[in-house]
Every structure is written in C-alpha cells, then in structure tokens.
Structure 1
Amino acid sequence: MNRIIDWFFRKSSFFDEEVEQTIQSVIRSIFRYIIIISLIIYLISQFVDIKSIIAGAGIAGVVIGFAAQQMLKDVILGFARLADKEFRVGDFVTFNGTNSGTIEEISIRFMQIREWSGKLLTIPHGEIRTIQNFNKGWMRVIERITVSYQEDPTRVKELLEEVCVICNEELNQTLYRVEDEAVEPFKYVGVTDLNPNLKYVGYEFCITGLIKPEDYFETSRQVRFELMSMFHKNQVQMPAANMVVTTEGLQHIHGGQSLSDS
C-alpha cells in the first residue's frame, strides 16, 4: 500500500513537496486503521457469530462509546486541523507553549514532532490547545541589547546602524521578500527602555528585520554574533548589575548604633 501511495504522488504534480508529504502521511494513517479494524473483525468472525454480537450491541455499544470517546475526539480534531491547513509536515511548531520541534508525521489521531534534542514526541490532537507555527508567511527578528548609562547613546546608535548594514549585506538571502523586494530590511528602531529590569541598569536599544520563517533561528544567532562583535571591537560598556541594599534594622555587632539612625 505504501508503494502504491508513493508511486501515485511521484507521478502527480498537484501539490508542493511539503503538502504531498502531509497528505501521504494522512492517507497512510487512514489505510492503517482500516486494515487493523478489518483484520480484527475478520479474526473475531472466525470464532464468534458476528450477528449475535450485533444483536447484543446495545450495552456493548455504550461501553465502547465511552472507551472510544477520546479517540473520536482526536480524529475529529485531526480532520478539522487538516482542513484548516494549520500546519504541514516539515513545519517547525510549538504546542501548548511548551513542546517545540519539526513535524515528522501527521495522522488522523496524533502528530509526531522531532525535538531539537532528537526526541520524537507523539501528541494526540485532543491534547493540542495552542499551536505556534514558525513556517507561516514571515517572522520578525527583534534583538534588544542594553548598554551602560556611561555610553554615549549617539555613538551606540551609529554602531547599531552599522550592524544593520552588515546584516543586510551578509544575511540578504534570508530577508522576506515580495516580488523580489525586501519588505523590511534590518533597521535601527531606537531606545526602547531606560531601565529594562531590576538586574541591570542602562539604555535598551533595539534592531529588527523581517525574514523568511525557515531562517529565523539561524538568522537570529548570526545577528547576535554581529552585535557582540561590533560592541567588542568598539569596547562598548555593558550595564552594571543593579544592587539594592536595605539597611533598616541593621546594627553593629558590638553595640553600635543602628545604621538606619545614622
């Protein structure tokens, strides 16, 4: 059966490769269930009268119905998601905000994704609540970096603009394009915060760029490398740790006065 399915899709050219892989995966899953169910019915029929089973299927049907409720839910959701084209084989996705990986197989009941570590994760459709698809349309690289208040913001701005020029040259092939025109090349956004968190104190700057989704992670790493290389080359000061000291109620060990009173 697998050979017949493979032969059919090799001879056809109705869909692109990723869609074909998804359809093949679903068709194999459907045929697999049909064969298994047919085999079970055949084996049972060799030892038990099927007609008597059907006649007394009232109570058994209720029991089986409860047992198959979750499976039926998985199948219905599987068909709905396939019809909505939420994802396809080869997409990089995150499920329920926790599990991330590349889709390797889609069946009518479950989905298998390969995590970055190499683990193969099988998730029933009924357990999938939210889906983040990193292969739809475009993605925006957003890199924020905080520098010391001692730095001249104009100097930092010029360095970041230089980084954007380098990224647009070195990573040109990853930029998202419409009619061969880059929609949003890497650009300097500006100062996005003056005290971004309690750990470090300084100016927060930001650069962004619109890229093809399949290049998102690798491009993000390369942009960070260019940022660090530029800052290291020009000895840009990074923010110092912000330390808060509470003196209330502290006293010298040898009868000294309270620091809060001094």
Structure 2
Amino acid sequence: MVNNVGKWTPQQFWTSLTDIGTWTLIGWVALKIILMIVLGRILVGIVFKILDQAMKERDVKRIKIDTRRTQTIVKLVKNVVSSTVYFIIILMVLAEIGLDLAPLLAGAGVLGLAIGFGAQTLVKDIITGFFIIFEDQFAVGDTIQAGTYKGTVEMIGLRTTRLKSWTGEVHFIPNGSIVQVTNYSLNNSIAVVDVTVPIDLDVDTSIESIKTTVQREFDKSEDMVKPPEVLGIQSVGTADVVIRVTAECKTNTHLAVSRLLNAEIKRALDDVKANAAASAANKGDVY
C-alpha cells in the first residue's frame, strides 16, 4: 500500500480519497493493527502475571534472596519481554502497511550477530544467573561449594556470585563457570564424633557414660534437632577402641556441635577412668 502511494499522481491521490475501496482497505489494515497491539498487550500481561506468581511462590521458600535484587531481576525480565513483544508488533505493523523489511532485518541480523559473538561469555553468565535464581539452586546465606571454592553466599548477581570463605577470603565467581554446586544448607547437618577409648577401660561403662553425656547436652543445646545416637564400636585397635556418635543438628552447625560433644565426652570419660582407677586402688590392684 505504502509503496503504491509513492507512485501515485496528485490526481490519483485525490481520487483514491473518494474511493470506498481505499477506505475499506485502510479500515481493514487499521483493524488488524489494533488487533496486533491488543494481542501483544494481552501476551505481555500474561507473562507478567506468570512472573509475579513465580515470585510469590519464592516468598515461601526456605531462604529468600535479597528482595531488592529479586525485584530488579523481575523488572529486567519484564522489560526484556515487553520490548521484544512490542518490537515484533512494530515489525508486523510496518509489514502490514507495505514497507519492505528485508534491509532492516538484514542489518539487525548482522548487528545482532556481531554483538552476540563479542558478548557470548557475558550472555552465558547472565543466562546461568537466571537459572540459578529461578531454579533455587542456592540463595543468599547458603553455604556452598562451587568447583574449588567453598563459602557462604553473600550475593547472587546476574553475572557473578560472591562467596565468602570461613577464613575471610571473598571469591567472585562468574555464573557461567559454575558447572556443579554442592549446597550444604538445604538439609540438616550431621555431626560425627569418633571417640577413642583405651582398650583397658570397660567399654560398656564408657558407652553408658557417653549416652548420658550426649543426652544431657541435647537437652541444653539449641543446635541439635534430634537426640544424638551412640552407634557403638566403630573399630578396635591394639591400644584402644573407637566409639562413634552422630547428632543431627541445624544447618552448618555440625562443626560446633562436634566440638561441644568432643569436649563433654572427654570430661565424662576422664571421670570414668578416674572412677575405675579409684575402684582398682580400693581393691589393691594397679590400674
């Protein structure tokens, strides 16, 4: 239509204005353009509702990502979606009124190819960042291991993730390089304590003392979620036996719980050994 208008003479132009066919064509094209715009807005609205619902579902998850960062990401996604849809609508409208889009699309394709080739690493990082966030692989506050790096997640960005190790180092990891992640914060931790008991100390008495001790510590502890289990003898050596104790505790508290149980069990076994020595002395034996 537009191409033909450019070839009209003034007489043809004024004649067309009084032609019912011309106005019918204009009305039909306008109707299709309006329909494209309405359908585009409906599509954008549906996508926005899906994104908002996804964010509401994330609000009830275990550990939330920083609210401002999440809102920023959602806004970015919405902008990308709306810009893409409206750009397509504009192209469809231009095609509907008769403009030749081939040169425009060819130029845009070459430009997009050049940008994509130069920024492929950046694009990979950003796409991986989206998947990390929306698949809930880990969140701010989680303790994870990504490759050789282990630490607490301080920040999840679109391009990088920031980890802080327990010794204070801060690692900035490009999201695209995160291939495999171990998340230590999804479930409760297990504290494992192997207690070495001298071979000449009564095993049954030692186990009973350990059971009493760990139960007492469980009653006082806020980190242990279940009473510790004394699994029994783990191994037997020439000079000692090893008794294993396990305790289910809150996420990432297993090291502190292990240290606590080690200290208290040591004191309890010292008492057992002292009592055994006193009993042997009373009988006239050498312990």
Q: Name the TM tier (shorter chain).
A: 0.5 to 0.7
1:77 to 125, 128, 136: 128
**Separation in 2 of the partners of 1:17 and 1:80?**
16
Q: Which has the higher helix share?
A: 2
Q: How far does the alpha carbon of each residue in 1:6-39 deviate from its partner, in whole angstroms, 9 at most, with x for none?
A: xxxxxx9x836975543433444687999xxxxx
Amino acid at match of 1:90: G
Is 1:129 the counterpart of 2:179? The answer is: yes
Q: How far does the alpha carbon of each residue in 1:22-68 deviate from its partner, in whole angstroms, 9 at most, with x for none?
A: 3433444687999xxxxxxxxxxxxxxxx99x93873x655543432
Q: Structure 1's 120 and 28: CA in aligned 2 closer, same or farther, altered over 3 A? A: farther
- Residue 175 of structure 1, CA deviation: 2.8
Equivalence for 2:107: 55
Aligned counterparts, 1:1-262, within 5 A: 15=59, 19-28=63-72, 55=107, 58=110, 61-96=112-147, 98-171=148-221, 173-176=222-225, 184-195=226-237, 202-235=240-273
Equivalence for 2:20: none
TM-score (norm. length: structure 1): 0.61
Secondary structure class of the residue paired with 2:173: strand
CA contact (8 A) 2:66 2:140 kept: yes
Q: How far does the alpha carbon of each residue in 1:228-261 deviate from its partner, in whole angstroms, 9 at most, with x for none?
A: 222334448xxxxxxxxxxxxxxxxxxxxxxxxx
Q: Structure 1's 56 and 80: CA in aligned 2 closer, same or farther, altered over 3 A? A: closer
CA contact (8 A) 1:26 1:106 kept: no
- Residue 112 of structure 1, CA deviation: 0.8
Equivalence for 1:256: none
Structure 1 unaligned residues grouped into runs of 5+: 1-11, 35-50, 177-183, 237-262
Q: Structure 1's 15 and 56: CA in aligned 2 closer, same or farther, altered over 3 A? A: closer
Q: How far does the alpha carbon of each residue in 1:48-106 deviate from its partner, in whole angstroms, 9 at most, with x for none?
A: xxx99x93873x6555434322222222222112122121111222222x322221111
Equivalence for 2:40: none
Equivalenced residue count is 197
Q: Tell me the C-alpha RMSD between the 2 structures.
A: 3.7
TM-score (norm. length: structure 2): 0.56
Which of structures 1 and 2 has the larger relative contact order (alpha carbons within 8 angstroms, sep 6+)? 1
Identify the range of structure 1 (66-75 vs 205-214) with the bigger mean alpha-carbon deviation.
66-75
Structure 2 unaligned residues grouped into runs of 5+: 1-55, 80-102, 275-287
**Larger-gyration structure (1/2):** 2
